Amino acid sequence: MASTDGAIKEPILAADGTPLKQALRRSQARERRAAFLLVAPLLLFILIVFAVPIASMIWRSVYNPEVRNFLPQTAAALQEWDGEDVPPEPVFQAMAADMIVGVEKRTIGRAAARINREIPGARSRMMRTAREVDEWSAPYREKFLETDERWSDLDFWRLLKRETRLVTPAYYLLALDYEYTADGEIRPRPEVYRIYKALFWRTAWMSMLITGICILLAYPISYLMATQPTRLANLLLILVLLPFWTSLLVRTSAWIVLLQQQGVVNELLVALNVIDEGGRLRMIYNRTGTIIAMTHILLPFMVLPLYSVMKTIPPSYLRAAKSLGAHPFRAWWRVYFPLTIPGLAAGCILVFILAIGYYITPALVGGDSGIFISNLIAQNMQGSSAQLKLAAALATILLVAVLVVYWVFNKLIGVDKLKFG
């Protein structure tokens, strides 16, 4: 043994004198090409239906073309302006030219709408001026100010200058309940508009809670399945997988029948005198409903990896621990539990990541207090182009959160150690 130590300093050569590593690589090139061709269709598919849309979503969340594209000359002229006083003549001249083009091409409305979102009333003023401007001639500055004195509003021009940037963080600020002030500072939005951050937190803690409940329910079931004869184990597995096999609507209506205030559970509790008529529990169309239904749906994702890991742990480990003098609980904690961590971690990451992006169940049984961030993303996706961008920003934040969770798991456990099934 000792003779081989330290002797492998210089590269080993193949028979023809090329380094062995290089020869090996060359000999494997063909197989690698074949392997690549095998996965190429899937790679292409993923690229088209997954990578490209996600990239476009991220781009959309920061893309801000209106002012720059529809008021190009104004945008250029404003670069010279220092923002201290009403802009000089060239800016107004550029604005007039842009308006003429805009009216002709019917794009001026879109630019006006964009600005109107930040300064209410700006749209009607712009449109009115735009209709008249082709009859004017230089100098434009006075004409503008005569028509409407609000053209001297510094906030308007500052906003316009800010919005000439093609890339804007504005939607991310909105998604985190912040906004720009008129003079370009970032500040929290007024109390009544602050909804997204709270919803992110709610999504996170409810997902954690659901993951926790799934662990508590799945661990004993998986253990039972792993230690019972195959026939019984398969029966249990079918019960666990049942939510996958029933349609969403059937499942949801079952929950409604069970959990509503006139539902089976409440009737039973009243009949047993556990609660009285007035004290019927609200268990659906609120947080409780979301938690119950989502735990049910996500449970298999916890059970399957746990079960597959537990099945590989021979019963002799626990027996060995006991024969060595460990109390059954200690034997379980020191020997069995550590060996199930790869499955447990895989289950947690699956359930948690699925939960924070879940949409349909909270929408159906969550009421107002039980909805998740995805529900607001969906809601925003139905709206105007600005809401669409907000939705893109929210979705991107969610995506980043998922990646962060994954990264943390990787640091803690090591993804290569996870066993998904």
Shortest reach from residue 323's CB to another protein, in Å:
4
Distance CA 407, CA 258 (A): 39
Which of 322, 360, 406, 410 touches another protein by CB under 8 A?
Answer: 322
17 binds another protein (CB under 8 A): no
330 binds another protein (CB under 8 A): yes
- Identity of the residue, 137 or 316, whose beta carbon is nearer to another protein in the bound complex: 316
Of the candidate spans 128-136, 145-153, 259-267, 327-335, the one that interacts with another protein by CB under 8 A turns out to be 327-335
Of the candidate spans 88-96, 256-264, 325-333, 406-414, the one that interacts with another protein by CB under 8 A turns out to be 325-333
- Identity of the residue, 42 or 324, whose beta carbon is nearer to another protein in the bound complex: 324
Closest CA to 203 of 311, 299, 294: 294
417 binds another protein (CB under 8 A): no
Find out whether 373 and 199 touch, Cβ atoms under 8 Å: yes
Per-residue contact string for residues 334-353; x = within reach of another protein by CB under 8 A: xx--xx--------------
Q: For residues 105-124, which are near another protein according to CB under 8 A?
A: none
Of the candidate spans 84-92, 177-185, 333-341, 351-359, the one that interacts with another protein by CB under 8 A turns out to be 333-341
327 binds another protein (CB under 8 A): yes
What's the N-to-C CA distance of the chain in angstroms? Answer: 40
3 binds another protein (CB under 8 A): no
320 binds another protein (CB under 8 A): yes
Q: How far is CA 79 from CA 88, 90, 165, in A?
A: 12, 11, 11
- Identity of the residue, 54 or 415, whose beta carbon is nearer to another protein in the bound complex: 415
333 binds another protein (CB under 8 A): no
Shortest reach from residue 348's CB to another protein, in Å:
19
Distance CA 355, CA 235 (A): 26
Of the candidate spans 39-47, 138-146, 210-218, 313-321, the one that interacts with another protein by CB under 8 A turns out to be 313-321
Q: State which H helix or E strand residue 403 sits in.
A: helix 385-412
Buried b (16+ CB within 10 A) or exposed e, 370-397: bbbbbbbbbebeeeeebebbbbbbbbbb
- Identity of the residue, 167 or 415, whose beta carbon is nearer to another protein in the bound complex: 415
Which of 22, 228, 323, 379 touches another protein by CB under 8 A?
Answer: 323
Of the candidate spans 14-22, 101-109, 259-267, 315-323, the one that interacts with another protein by CB under 8 A turns out to be 315-323
Distance CA 247, CA 244 (A): 8
Of the candidate spans 15-23, 124-132, 150-158, 324-332, the one that interacts with another protein by CB under 8 A turns out to be 324-332
**Residues recorded for the chain:** 421
Distance CA 245, CA 314 (A): 31
Number of residues in contact with another protein under rule CB under 8 A: 19
Neighbours of 294 (CB within 10 A): 26
Buried b (16+ CB within 10 A) or exposed e, 332-362: beebbeeebebbbbbbbbbbbbbbbbbeebb
Q: DSSP string of 114-173?
A: HHHTTSTTHHHHHHHHHHHGGG--S-HHHHHHHH-GGGG-HHHHHHHHHTT-SB--HHHH
Which of 101, 326, 401, 402 touches another protein by CB under 8 A?
Answer: 326
Buried b (16+ CB within 10 A) or exposed e, 80-112: ebeeeeebeebbbbbbbbbbeebbeeebbbebb
Residues binding another protein (CB under 8 A): 314, 316-317, 319-328, 330-331, 334-335, 338-339
